[in-house]
Structure 1
Amino acid sequence: MAGLIAGATAVALADDPTEYVALGASFSAGVGISPSAGGPSGCGRSTKNFPNLVADAEGFRLKDMSCGGAQTRHLTTSQTAGQPPQFDGLSSTTDLVTMQIGYNDGNVYSGSIADCSQTASGSSQLAPCEARTLGRYSAEIQVTAANIATAIAGIKSRAPSAKILIVGYPAVYPKQGNCPARNPFSAADTAFLDRLEVELNTMLKTQAQLADVDFVDTYGPSVGHDSCKSQSMRWVEPYSNPVGAIRLHPNATGHQQVAKAVRAALD
């Protein structure tokens, strides 16, 4: 591990490059960002996702197991044809693991978007979906906490020498206001969606701390670069007319910023 913490120079001089395994879903895979890394159909891995950017910059040997749509259960079960359980990438020789997963558990990500989408998105008087969903997604996030704890334990047992980084999710939505031309959510529902993401990141950080592994905050640095911002400012693409990534997911700049946060966590 000394070579890992020492940084890129030591790694570049090492005879045996650091073995890095990336676990996660679409926010890790870089779905929609060109060029494609190939791999199993439906996983949507990009050669410009943050795991590849970290590996290229640091001279690590990468096994990218991330796959769009993954839930924590897909760490130990096959998700789709050609995509084995993500934990299959781990071994006793693994030196570094990043895991960015949990948003899809309990259908929190897609379900909350579907529940909060509405035609009259510009009205701030519409009843927020927070009331319509009766706390269902917050409850699902708390259920997911046990899944994350189990996942971290699973990494430790399969890769006992690895440094583990639990990577949080960047800000998808603004904290205040809305952008009806870009996202089909009222201002109240936009604020609710942001609070859900904060709850998710808080849960991930708590589970990382309980397991004595590192948490990488990507939400804080990304505030002000959400999907409502202009194309030159945003790190996450909007629902309507996304450019260079799928909607409500990090774009190439977003992945560069996540890579920056992960590399900082290695120092």
Structure 2
Amino acid sequence: MRRSRLSVLLGSILLAVVTTLTGAATAHASQQAAADGYVALGDSYSSGVGAGSYIGSSGDCKRSTKAYPYLWNAANSPSSFDFTACSGARTDEVLASQLGPLGAGTGLVSISVGGNDAGFADVMTTCVLQSESACLSRINTARSYATSTLPGKLDNVYSAIRTRAQNAEVVVLGYPRFYRLGTTCIGLSEAKRAAVNDAADLLNSVTAQRANAHGFTFADVRAPFTGHEICSGNSWLHSVNWANIGESYHPKAAGQSGGYLPAFDSAA
């Protein structure tokens, strides 16, 4: 009799354990299945400025159907796609206006941000229009910001993303080097071009460090853009575009599809 009661008790315990484990596994599987939406955040390099084919409803954000987020969505068909990246966005603007779609159903997030915080547009304007010494001075100011202030700004954004999208894989994309060096090229001097490239490398280094610290993946686009910089003869980047100045120093459609999309696809 005691043996029979013991068998019943052990059977009940085993059933409870199996039921609990099965329920947990089912809940986890359901959570994973639900978390497959894609949210694309960030600045003009993610919205697709320079690639053309802008979505009318995106207004001044200039989101392009040729931008890497739009191309990735078309090729992979996630359960949902929210494209909130916006031209000119800084870290504070990402925090204020782009994170709304993030949630439990978000499985993938992409973002490029930090260049505008460091004064990218002003750096390039100074280097194009002013002397070599003025250009190098402005770049040094940007470098100082990138090492002293930008890390905390990036931390704020990355922490907010993780808080809102706990199940998501987050891919942080960097910036290309802008110039091919050692070639004859009309426009900026070799010293200016080298300083701009070095500043891009520093920005990528800072961004990668903060992304890795948050457990995010950093997607480096410099390799695919090698051989396609300005002055290469086959540039994937706009140089100064006087007809549409806002597209200057941004990837063309070829830069989005041939540079950004492969880097993101391999990391996602």
Interval containing the TM-score (normalised by the shorter chain): 0.7 to 0.9
The question of whether the paired residues in 2 share the 8 Å contact of 1:177 and 1:190 is answered with no
Q: For residues 69 and 76 of structure 1, what CA distance do their matches in structure 2 show?
A: 14
Paired residues of 2:35 and 2:104 also in contact (CA < 8 A): no
Identity of aligned residues (%): 26
| Conservation of the 8 A alpha-carbon contact between 2:95 and 2:157 | no
User: 1:68 and 2:71 equivalent?
Assistant: no
TM-score (norm 2): 0.80
Aligned partner of 1:133 in structure 2 is 138
Q: Does 1:91 pair with 2:97?
A: no
**What is the alpha-carbon distance in structure 1 between the residues aligned to residue 252 and residue 100 of structure 2?**
28
Name the CA shift for 1:138/1:49 in 2 (closer, same or farther; >3 Å).
same
Q: Distance in 1 between matches of 2:212 and 2:50?
A: 32
Of 103, 110, 114, the residue aligned with 2:115 is 103
Structure 1 residue 229: Cα displacement: 2.6
Q: Which runs of 5+ in 2 are unaligned?
A: 1-31
- 3-state DSSP of counterpart to 1:188: helix
Q: Highest Rg: 1 or 2? A: 2
Counterpart for residue 227 of structure 2: 224
**8 Å CA contact retained: 1:171, 1:219:** yes
- Could you say which residue in structure 2 is the equivalent of 1:171? 177
Counterpart residue number, 1:259: 261
Distance 1:220 1:241 in 2: 28
Which of 37, 40, 43 pairs up with 2:61? 43
Which residue does 2:236 correspond to in 1? 235
Contact 2:39 2:82 in 1 (8 A): yes
1:193 counterpart residue number: 196
**CA deviation profile, 1:6-45 (whole Å, cap 9, x unmatched):** xxxxxxxx98683100011111111243322223421011
> d(CA) in 1 for partners of 2:98 and 2:204?
21
1-structure distance, mates of 2:212, 2:181: 26
What's the CA shift string for 1:64-94, capped at 9, x where partnerless? Answer: 00000000001222xxxxxxx1011211211
Is contact 2:107–2:167 with CA below 8 Å preserved after alignment?
A: yes
2:151 corresponds to 1:145:
yes
Aligned-pair distance for 1:97? 0.3
Residues 1:206 and 2:193 are matched in the alignment: no
CA contact (8 A) 2:155 2:210 kept: yes
Task: Report the TM-score, using the length of structure 1 for normalisation.
Answer: 0.80
Is 1:250 equivalent to 2:256 in the alignment? no
Q: 1:17 to 1:205 in 2, by over 3 A?
A: closer
Contact 2:102–2:164 under 8 Å retained in 1? yes
1:27 is aligned to 2:54: no
Are the equivalent residues in 1 in contact too, given 2:90–2:113 (CA < 8 A)?
yes
Amino acid at match of 1:261: A
With 149-158 and 17-26 compared, the bigger mean Cα shift is at 17-26
